[in-house]
Each structure stands twice: as C-alpha cells, then as structure tokens.
C-alpha cells in the first residue's frame, strides 16, 4: 500500500459518512510504525488534507520527535492517575476540531482510568462514527490471537492486546517491514531503547532468530487477512464446495482453554469461521470452571467467533454431531499427558473416539498442561469436570 495514494479516497457522501481506518502493523518495537504514520501525515498535508496529531508516542526518540515538526497537534488531555499525570487523547477536542484525519498512535493501548473509553481503539471508533478518518499503529504482540505465540518466542508477556477482529476490520492494514539486521542496528545506536538497556535487549528480545520469526508471523498474518477479504463479499454458490474454513474448538473451562481458542482462531484467520462448543453432562451443577468458561466465551466473541453449549452424556458423539451439523472443516481439542496408571487402562480416551469418527474433518490436538488421571479430564470435555455457565 502507498501512504500517498491512501489519501486519494472517494469524496465523503455527507456528514454521516463513516470515517476510514488505516493501521500500520509492526512486528517488533522500533520497527517504525509511528514514523510511518507521521510521514503519511506530512504527505497528506502536502496534498491539502486537513490532518492533525491526536496522539503520538515519541518514547524519547529524537528522529521520531523531529517528524512532529510542521504538524498540527491537539493538546493532550491530562488525566490524574495515582501520584502522576497521564497524557491521553483529548477526544472531545478532536471531535470539536473535526479534521479530515486524526493520527492516533497505539491502537491496542489501554487509556488511563477516568478516560471516556477504556481502550484507544474505542476512541478511534467514536472518531470514525463522527466521519473522521483515523490512522493508527499496532504491534504484532498486541494481536490477541498471536500474543501467546509471541510470548513463547520472546519469553516476554504481551501486556495489552486488541481482538484481531478490530484490526482486520480496518479499511487498510500495512506492515512496516524492516529487516531484523536493521532493527538490531537501530537498537545498537540507541534509537529504540536507551543505551543502558540496548545491550540486554540485543542479547534477548532482539536476537536475529526472534526477530525473523516475528517478521514471518506478521507477513503470514497479513496474508491470511488479505485472503479473508476475498471471502467477505457475498456467500457460497449453491452446491459449491466449502470455500471457507469452519473451525470448531472444544472447551471444558480448563486453564488451557485460552490456548485452544487462540490456536483455533489462527486456523480460522484466512476468512474462516470460529465456533467454540462446551459439552456438559446432564444435571452437572455449577463448579469451579464456570468463571473460566465465561472468560473463554468472551475471548471467543472478541475473536469474532460464536459460543455454543450442549448437554449430552456422550461427549465425543456430541462434538462430532455438532461439528458435522456446522459443516466444520477443522476440530481443535486439547490433549493431556496421561499418567502411567491411566495409560495401562484399556478405556478409550475422548480424543481417540473423536479421531475415529471424524472422517472428513481435520482434527488438531493441542498439548495441555494438566496430566490426565484414570479418567482423563482432557480439554475436549469430561464428565469429571463440573460447572456449566449460564
């Protein structure tokens, strides 16, 4: 995508027209998303677009700060938080100013307590509802479906995340693609972190292997998003073969459920559908997994999926019947490590029963952290689990 070309959009139909959203995606800190956003603002301004800076993160980087020169900026709202003052986008001032374009750095960031919206992407949504275009940025580690993979690669927790659906719903997403060697050079010069932190970062987060893996992941995520765009208009022709992936993930409320959901969401990323299902035996009273299932249901919805609950004593059969009724192409289940004692028992596991009956459906087993006992309480479902959310 060409930032300069992005400014040549169709004329607005009127004051009620919804603003457009453009997002720069970076695969690591210092990739240059903020600089790309500010450079686009200069290009748009040169072409006569009324563009203002609503919020930009400089992080003490002189080269980034220099790009603010010559751009109109809305003064930040100062929000008291604990013993300090936090600066945030002044949303009311931006709405009153009503430019054509507002720059809003950090799409996934949480606003300070006391702000009108909890998240910056909600600020962007209100601006767009007012007919204002928004240009924003997001880091790969902030995409909800990928944050666990990024943590596994880098060893660092992701912090704040945004549901992929809000990023994929943008009118344009562009990766700021920087070679890993270039990022390391920037780090060594002190252009990303202060000099006292740079050496540790180069030996840890900014290793070539880490950066290369993250870069590849970002490119694959964008490719999947673009593939999904091709499936959005209209629907399948009658009698046509299945063109979309329909991914069913089986949940029990175990702590591994979030990992299963994120893995399934990645399988469904290229324009597919995500469906989560929880099978509970009849008459099971609410238990400890109730709160976990409620949280997992919310995660499914934030990933753009749907949540379903079934009551059935035969968990494998119920999963297969549901998957076939929904024309599922893939089924994701958890697989626990069986104890030595349970491994000696002839009783079939839920996973093996599902696998035997899943002809035509790809079955994925995701390793879970819990160890199975005599009757494996695996992540696909178990009569031993208790608790059904309302």
CATH number of the domain residue 365 falls in: 3.40.50.620
Tell me what pLDDT residue 221 has. Answer: 87
Which has more pLDDT, 221 or 40? 40
Write out pLDDT tens, residues 327-337: 888 999 988 65
State how far the Cα of 121 lies from the Cα of 104, in Å rounded to an integer: 9
Same domain, 32 and 82: yes
Whether 78 and 153 share a structural domain: yes
pLDDT, tens digit, for every residue of 183-195? Answer: 999 999 888 888 8
Query: What pLDDT score was predicted for residue 99?
Result: 97
Instruction: Clarify whether residues 210 and 253 are in a common domain.
Output: no
pLDDT at 344: 42
Calpha distance 370→390 (Å, rounded): 25
Long-range contacts of 226-231 (CB under 8 A, 24+ apart): 227/270, 227/271, 228/168, 228/269, 228/270, 228/271, 228/272, 229/271, 230/271, 231/270, 231/271
Domain assignment present for 181 = yes
Per-residue confidence band for 228, with pLDDT thresholds at 50, 70 and 90: low
Q: Collapse the DSSP code of 84 into the 3-class scheme (helix H, G, I; strand E, B; otherwise coil) and give the result.
A: strand
Q: Percent of the chain, pLDDT > 70?
A: 81
Q: How confident is the model at residue 196 (pLDDT cuts 50, 70, 90)?
A: confident
Nearest to 336 by CA among 273, 264, 260: 260
Residue 158 in domain? yes
CATH number of the domain where residue 210 is located:
3.40.50.300
Distance CA 288, CA 90 (A): 42
CA gap 116, 27 in Å, rounded: 29
Q: What is the mean pLDDT of residues 240-269?
A: 83
Question: Average per-residue pLDDT in the chain?
Answer: 81
148 & 250 share domain? no
User: In terms of residue numbers, what domain contains 48?
Assistant: 3-230
Q: What pLDDT does 356 receive?
A: 86
Residue 178 sits in the same domain as residue 251 = no
377 assigned to some structural domain? no
| Alpha-carbon span 89 to 93, nearest angstrom | 9
Higher pLDDT, 167 or 81: 167
Question: Could you tell me which residue, 372 or 100, shows the higher pLDDT?
Answer: 100
- Quick one: average pLDDT of 77-92? 89
Q: Do the beta carbons of residue 358 and residue 331 sit within 8 Å?
A: yes
Please state the domain count of the chain: 2
Q: Determine the pLDDT at residue 312.
A: 81
Q: What is the pTM of this model?
A: 0.65
Nearest 5°: phi and psi at 389? Answer: -70, 155
Question: Is 350's pLDDT higher than 90?
Answer: no
Residues 360 and 223 in one domain: no
Is 237 a member of any domain?
A: no
Residue 389 has pLDDT above 50, yes or no: no
Mean pLDDT within 205-214:
91
Question: Are 8 and 138 contained in the same domain?
Answer: yes
| 378 belongs to a structural domain | no
- pLDDT number for residue 255: 86
Q: End of a domain among 230, 255, 282?
A: 230
Residues 201 and 265 in one domain: no
Q: Average pLDDT for residues 379-389, to the nearest whole number?
A: 33
Q: Which of the two residues, 5 and 256, has the higher pLDDT score?
A: 256
Task: Provide the pairing of β-strand 362-372 with 172-175.
Answer: unpaired
**pLDDT (average), residues 342-371:** 73
Per-residue model confidence (pLDDT) at position 222: 87
- Residue by residue, DSSP assigns 67-79 as TTTTSEEPPPEEE
CA distance to 79, 187, 215, per residue, from 198 (Å): 31, 6, 20
pLDDT in tens, 29-81: 899 999 999 999 999 999 999 999 999 988 888 888 999 999 999 999 988 88
Same domain assignment for residues 107 and 32: yes
The reported pLDDT for the residue numbered 372 is 40
Per-residue confidence (pLDDT) for residue 136, from 0 to 100: 98
Q: Identify the pLDDT of residue 194.
A: 85
pLDDT in tens, 271-327: 788 999 998 887 665 555 788 899 999 999 888 899 998 888 888 888 988 888 888
Residue 282 resides in a domain: yes
Q: Is residue 387 part of a domain?
A: no
Q: Are residues 267 and 362 in the same domain?
A: yes
User: Do 204 and 309 share a domain, yes or no?
Assistant: no
So what's the pLDDT on residue 14? 47
Kindly report which listed range (38-52, 175-189, 355-369) carries the lowest average pLDDT score. 355-369
What is the average pLDDT across 79-86? 85
Beta carbons of 140 and 27 less than 8 angstroms apart: yes
Phi (first) and psi of residue 35, to 5 degrees: -65, -40
User: Cα(250)–Cα(380) distance, rounded to whole angstroms?
Assistant: 5
Q: Of how many residues is the chain composed?
A: 390
189 with 283, same domain: the answer is no
pLDDT of residue 183: 93
pLDDT digits over 2-32, tens only? Answer: 433 333 444 444 455 899 999 999 999 899 9
CA-closest candidate to residue 146, choices 248, 30, 33, 261? 261
Q: pLDDT at position 385, please? A: 33
Residue 389 placed within a domain: no
């Amino acid at each position: 995508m060409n930032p300069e070309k992005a400014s040549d959009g169709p004329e607005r139909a009127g004051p009620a027209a919804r603003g457009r959203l453009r997002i720069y995606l970076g695969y690591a800190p210092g990739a240059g998303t903020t600089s790309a956003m500010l450079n686009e603002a200069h290009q748009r301004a040169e072409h006569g677009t009324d563009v203002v800076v609503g919020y930009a993160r400089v992080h003490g980087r002189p080269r980034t700060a220099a790009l603010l020169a010559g751009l109109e900026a809305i003064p930040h709202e100062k929000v008291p938080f604990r013993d300090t003052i936090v600066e945030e986008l002044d949303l009311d001032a931006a709405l009153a100013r009503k430019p054509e374009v507002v720059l809003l750095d950090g799409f996934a960031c949480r606003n300070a307590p006391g702000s009108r919206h909890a998240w910056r992407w909600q600020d962007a949504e209100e601006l767009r509802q007012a007919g204002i275009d928004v240009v924003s940025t997001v880091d790969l580690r902030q995409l909800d479906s990928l944050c666990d993979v990024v943590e596994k690669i880098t060893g660092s927790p992701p912090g704040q995340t945004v549901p992929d659906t809000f990023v994929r719903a943008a009118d344009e997403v562009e990766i700021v693609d920087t070679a890993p060697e270039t990022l390391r050079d920037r780090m060594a010069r002190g252009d990303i972190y202060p000099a006292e932190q740079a050496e540790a970062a180069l030996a840890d987060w900014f290793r070539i292997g880490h950066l290369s893996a993250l870069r590849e992941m970002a490119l694959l995520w964008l490719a999947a998003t673009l593939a999904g765009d091709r499936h959005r208009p209209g629907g399948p022709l009658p009698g046509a073969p299945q063109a979309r992936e329909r991914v069913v993930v089986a949940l029990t409320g175990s702590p591994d459920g979030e990992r299963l959901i994120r893995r399934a969401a990645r399988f469904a990323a290229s324009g597919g559908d995500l469906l989560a299902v929880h099978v509970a035996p009849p008459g099971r009273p609410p238990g400890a997994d109730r709160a976990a299932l409620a949280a997992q249901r919310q995660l499914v919805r934030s990933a753009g999926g749907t949540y379903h609950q079934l009551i059935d004593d035969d968990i494998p059969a119920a999963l297969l019947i549901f998957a076939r009724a929904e024309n599922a192409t893939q089924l994701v289940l958890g697989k626990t490590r069986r104890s030595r004692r349970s491994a000696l028992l002839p009783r079939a596991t839920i996973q093996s029963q599902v696998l035997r009956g899943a002809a035509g459906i790809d079955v994925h087993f995701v390793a879970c952290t819990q160890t199975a006992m005599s009757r494996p309480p695996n992540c696909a479902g178990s009569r031993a689990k208790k608790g059904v959310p309302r």
